[in-house]
Amino acid sequence: MELKSYQQNVIDSLEDYLDYVQKYNDLGKAFNQYWEDKIGPYNPIDGSGMEPYKNNIPKAAHVCVKVPTAGGKTFIAINALHSIFSAYDSSKPRMVIWLVPWSNLLQQTVNNLKDPEHPYRQKLNALFNNRVEIYQKEDLLQASNFNPTVIQEQISVVVMSFASLRAKNKEDRKVFEENGYLEAFESFYKNQKHLLDEVSPTALINVLRYLNPVLIVDESHNAESTLSVEMLRNLNPSFILDLTATPKQNSNIISLVPAIELKKENMVKLPVIVYNNHDKSEVINNALHLQRKLEILAEKEEKEGGKYIRPIVLFQAQPKINDDNTTFEKLKQHLLEVGIPENQIKIKTANIDELKDVDLMSKECEVRYIITINALKEGWDCPFAYILASLADKSSAVDVEQILGRVLRQPYVRKHKAYQLNLSYVLTASAKFNETLQNIVKGLQTAGFSERDYRKVDKMTEEDKTEVKNKPVESFLFPEQDESKENEVDFDKSKIQYKPIAGEEELDSNPALSEIDKMAFEQNQITERQIEEQEKEPVDEKIFIEMGDKVKRYKVKESYIPVVEDIVFPQFFLRVTPSDIFGTEEVRLNPEALLEGFKLSQEDSNIDFDKISSDLYKVDLEKSAKDDYRPSFTRIEDNLVKDPIAEYILAKPREKQVADIANELTSLMGNMYPIMDPEIKVYISRIIENLSQEQLRDILVRKWSYSDKIKAKIRQLSDAYAERQFMDLIKSKRILTKPTWKLPKEIVPGNLGSSIGNSLYEREGSMNGFEEEAIMQIGTSSNILFWHRNLERGKGYFINGFKAKHYPDFILQTKSGKTILLETKGGHLDNTDSAAKCRLGNEWERLAGDNFAYFMVFEKNEIEGAYSLDRAKELIGKM
């Protein structure tokens, strides 16, 4: 199981933030600068920019990731652990406390992380070289395979509920009590500073505090109370990662996942089709018919090779104040009376749980109808749940937001052939339908989505609504005369005409189903077009849309708009022949195509390690000017480190040592797609298999330095191979350029540069000294119409050749209609990388046509194919 593209973007954002911490050695400054570079400085007057870092837990780095429901938060967190611990001193125990708000979510998380066949555990094993142990609170209290020696050799993950750390009852207080099983830890305490007042040194809470754990806080919006914040502080964490679809005001958000990304990856059933019926009888009737129709479509798809799906209806019953059983039991009785087999119906309320130990995804399971009130509001998921049918009294606004998120998850994370199976449905009978829609919006927002993600049909007449509005007043004044029995589940059985074996033709005669189906088709088409358009946008732009007014945008100057609309930038495309039937087609060139046939394991493995530098990282608690303590990611000297994991590895047989070190170094390198990890491991094994024992020890102590050196070598080899492939493909006429990219109408430059004449946008992005000098001299020349500071990291234009995403520094347009890409190089930059970019840019110019040009301009140390500033100014001035 690999990360989806949006999930990888979350991990990239986290690693970017960690790099900022390393650079600034201050959590708050790192966070503030991270966002300032992305979207500009915070302005408290207009609300633009990201609010400054909130030091919620003074001794911990505390950041938040916003991911909508069904976005794979758990898998993101697993990968995030690797990024976080890669920035730590490896002599520290890798202790993780995974906090969840509900008991059912706790057991689900434990089961998934423990199961060796589950993708979550498999990913953990891959990232941490199979040295993984999953605990529950009881395991730690009994010191079951939990001691100072064991935890040095592995990553230890204990899954706990919020409640178990709040000491509200006798069972939970055990965490704070003296514990003889944990006495072994006391002798490892270097000092007593971490101990809580009046709590035994052997109490589990003090052991956890000593270990400075990393906290994963799932559904973190449930951990914002004073009691919850105290709970987090009590754990003395070094790092806290919040995961939620709805971050609170005091969250330090480092990454947001737009809802459209989940739809694009087929993670969710969107949009939601909302159908307001005349009455509750119609809700039941149409829910039964819709379920049957969806199941017929699912059965057809399965016969044609699709996956098994059994669509489920969630009936949300009306609560009864005095007798909790009345409404849902009556509803069940009505379903039995219309012919629904009893084994297809389950009840799930606060007091009745007929879903316990039921595998709803199993083919052997018969359940198609679940009756609840709000017991499924959180911590429960079944991708087969398609229809939410609310049976609240029609005179009230329906509280569907309680459980709407339960029907959004897409079965098997794939697009289904029948479009109806890619959407979800809400059926209501509410006279206060507008209020109900607001509740649906709330539900979508709670799940991390928005009002853009639903479509509605209202079939209740104004007469029906007027009649309902009058009755509650009469009921209030004369309750003994109230015949409406609004809390009863009272249906008109004549309106429920349902056959459990109804065929497709019979179902098509239902006018409500026809209307729902028509809307589903139209909205599915609209969503597909939206996804096509969104795919053309850079990822950052989708995030910026999600952030709304926080993002400061700058427009194209009005006088340049007509010119900009006509400029389309070419990129490289590759002619491919997918089959003899379809002939040749052209696809955008990507690194994977250029590295086809690249065998890293067979490449040159000679690397000079003599000049390796020391750059180990650690997290330590350093005293700040405000006299508090906070973690700081800093470099330390090798001779100060004695890594117990290194000793553990070096005690193994030689073959195991090489394999473990190869795993360690590969995991530190991160994603080197399209070069796969197994290929990298084989290559690293070749490098280290003939090294001495002392050299292997040195690698383990300075593994960041070695991994960086090896990574640079791999990049050098792969870049050289890609360039050879690129030139061969050009020679064989298989690479061409096609116009694809246009300048956006608005940009988000982040930090702003100086105001210089002739700029394309109202304001341009920041520049260094030589960049500013170059654009002052060239961009303001008499023949230049406008210039633009090209933005990086997905915001601007890049050349997609053998150098991954080469973003030239500037785009210029001459008055004669020539478009120029300008790359500037100060004297401090590496010429090897620059030379490759220069060759790529010049090849792009050759294939792009007469109206495009590329210049690499050097301050000094000019290379072949590049120009001095004066010479470039002279040549561009003649264009």
822-851 b/e (C-beta count within 10 Å ≥ 16 → b): bbbbeeeeeeeebebbbbbbbbbbeebeee
Please indicate, yes or no, whether residues 857 and 719 belong to a single structural domain of this protein: no
**Residue 176, phi-psi category: left (phi > 0), alpha (psi -120 to 50), beta (remainder):** alpha
Q: Are 258 and 545 in contact (CB under 8 A)?
A: yes
Q: Are residues 655 and 527 in the same domain?
A: no
Supply the CATH number for residue 235's domain: 3.40.50
Q: Which two tokens stand for residue 19?
A: 């790099």
The pLDDT-based confidence of 133 (bands split at 50, 70, 90) is very high
Burial 439-477 (b: 16+ CB within 10 A, else e): bbbbbbbbbbbeeebbbbebbbeeeebeebeeebeebee
* Maximum Cα interatomic distance, the chain, rounded to a whole number of Å: 96
- The domain boundary residue, chosen from 702, 728, 754: 728
Between these two residues, 537 and 429, which has the higher pLDDT value? 429
Which of 678, 694, 728 corresponds to the end of one domain?
728
Whether residue 579 is contained in a domain is answered as no
Burial, 752: exposed, middle or buried (Cβ in 10 Å; 0-12, 13-18, 19+)? Answer: middle
Q: Which residues is 574 bridged to in the sheet?
A: 587, 735
Pick 577 or 751 by higher pLDDT. Answer: 751
253/283 same-domain check:
no
Q: Does 319 score more than 70 pLDDT? A: no
Mean pLDDT over all residues of the chain? 81
Number of domains in the chain: 4
In this structure, the answer to whether residues 289 and 427 fall within a common structural domain is yes
pLDDT value at position 246?
A: 80
CA distance 797 to 799: 7
- Look up the CATH number of the domain holding residue 428: 3.40.50.300
Distance CA 99, CA 232 (A): 10
- Going by C-alpha positions, the residue among 408, 405, 413, 418 that lies closest to residue 378 is 405
> Residue 619 falls within a domain, yes or no?
no
Same domain for 72 and 218? yes
37-49 tens-digit pLDDT: 888 888 888 888 8
pLDDT tens digits for range 822-846: 999 876 555 678 888 999 999 999 9
Interstrand relation of 569-579 and 735-741 (parallel, antiparallel or unpaired):
antiparallel
Domain CATH number, residue 816: 3.40.1350
**Whether residue 381 is found in the same domain as residue 436:** yes
pLDDT in tens, 472-499: 444 433 333 444 444 444 566 666 777 7
| Domain that includes residue 290, residue range | 261-532
Residues 286 and 245 in one domain: no
Residue 391 is assigned to a structural domain of this protein = yes
Residues 207, 150 within the same domain: yes
Confidence band for 635, pLDDT divided at 50, 70 and 90: very low
229 and 268: one domain?
no
In a domain, 113, yes or no: yes
Q: What long-range pairs does 194-199 form, CB within 8 A, spacing at least 24?
A: 194/236, 196/234
Residue-level pLDDT at 618: 41
Q: From CA 239, how far away is CA 262, in angstroms rounded? A: 27
Q: Tell me which DSSP letter residue 45 carries.
A: T
Please give the Cα distance from 43 to 762 (Å, whole number). Answer: 18
Nearest alpha-carbon partner for 311 in 335, 331, 286, 290: 290
- Note whether residue 554 is domain-resident: no
Asked if residue 43 and residue 16 are part of one domain, the reply reads yes
Q: End-to-end alpha-carbon separation of the chain, Å?
A: 52
Q: Do 480 and 406 belong together in one domain?
A: yes
Confidence of residue 808 (pLDDT cuts 50, 70, 90): very high
Residues 765 and 703 in one domain: no
Outline where 670-764 has alpha helix (H).
677-688, 693-701, 703-731
- Higher pLDDT pick, 294 / 406: 294
User: Per the domain annotation, does 351 fall within a domain?
Assistant: yes
Could you tell me if 794 and 540 are in contact, meaning their C-beta atoms sit under 8 angstroms apart? Answer: yes
Helix 73-85 / helix 5-24 crossing angle, nearest 10 deg = 30
With tokens 């837990």, the residue in question is 57
C-alpha pair distances (Å), 654 with each of 6, 152, 661, 693: 40, 21, 11, 9
Q: Is residue 587 part of a domain?
A: no
User: Higher-confidence residue: 764 or 470?
Assistant: 764
Confidence at residue 457, expressed as pLDDT on a 0 to 100 scale: 59
Does residue 734 lie within any of the structural domains? no
Q: Which of 202, 232, 257 is the last residue of a domain?
A: 257
